[in-house]
Amino acid sequence: MQQPELAGRVALVTGAGQGIGEAVTRALVACGARVAALDWATEGVKELEAEFGADRVVAHSADVADSLAVDAVVDEVERTLGPIAILVNVAGVLRTSPVVDITDEVWDRTFAVNSTGVFNASRAVARRMSERRDGCIVTVGSNAAGVPRTSMAAYAASKAAATMFTKCLGLELARSGVRCNVVSPGSTDTAMQRGLWADEQAPQRVIDGDPATYRVGIPLGRIAEPADIADAVTFLVSDRARHITMHDLYVDGGATLRA
């Protein structure tokens, strides 16, 4: 019998407790990986550990904005599970507001998690991957990083920073064989997305688009499921994508009309 595609590989997933991070964790486990599931809130990752067993998923708690805490988790994972072959940066926050009303606290926290968090985790893992000349890093960004959105300036700017950081890291690590890519979802059925919905008609408005806010709809006619994003991630960390690096894969049903 053929072994699962990622059998024997250790993965670290941030923001693993819910939404896309949870879906990525499940997809990696299904492909044979052992996953260190990291989230600042422990409930979701502990549930995953209980469901799959500690031989498949190990829960960790840390704020990705805290570099020392992230370094400690990476050290522990490498000591207890083995060399990290896959890092998936999913942890993110979203608070909507017109630019003139964004507080310093919201701006700073958005960048601390969405941008600095990606830097902290990637730096800690990249140091080890480059020495071993092997590994894959995927950052889950957003299509908002490439298309302006009203009331989403902090989120969009932080995701754009994370996207370019990941590409620059990929360039620096390319000679060592370490690949770094981005998956950019559009509207996806998660708690974060549902937090933007004011009524039962909101999902259809997302699909149809909103000219008043200059937002294009979704040509494929549906909102993504977290598993759609996870499938893109598992492809990029697999050997099927061995010659792909510094790529930004949009998974948004065509919503950005991106060439």
User: pLDDT in tens for each of the 259 residues of the chain?
Assistant: 678 999 999 999 999 999 999 999 999 999 999 999 999 999 999 999 999 999 999 999 999 999 999 999 999 999 999 999 999 999 999 999 999 999 999 999 999 999 999 999 999 999 999 999 999 999 999 999 999 999 999 999 999 999 999 999 999 999 999 999 999 999 888 777 776 667 777 768 778 788 888 889 999 999 999 999 999 999 999 999 999 999 999 999 999 997 5
In this structure, the strands spanning 215-216 and 84-89 are unpaired
- The string over 155-180, giving b where at least 16 C-beta atoms fall within 10 Å of a residue's C-beta and e elsewhere, is bbbbbbbbbebbbebbeebeeeebbb
Q: Which tokens belong to 51?
A: 């469901």
Q: Is the dihedral of CA 188, 44, 35, 144 positive or negative?
A: positive
In this predicted structure, what is the pLDDT of residue 197? 67
Q: Which residue is catalytic, options 40, 52, 155, 165? A: 155
From CA 36, how far away is CA 41, in angstroms rounded?
A: 14
In this structure, the strands spanning 209-210 and 215-216 are antiparallel
179 in Cβ contact with 137 (< 8 Å): yes
- In this structure, the chain runs to a length of 259
Multiple choice CATH, 10-194+226-250, 3.40.50.300, 3.40.720.10, 3.30.700.30, 3.40.50.720: 3.40.50.720
214 tagged catalytic: no
In this predicted structure, what is the pLDDT of residue 172? 98
From CA 37, how far away is CA 57, in angstroms rounded?
A: 7
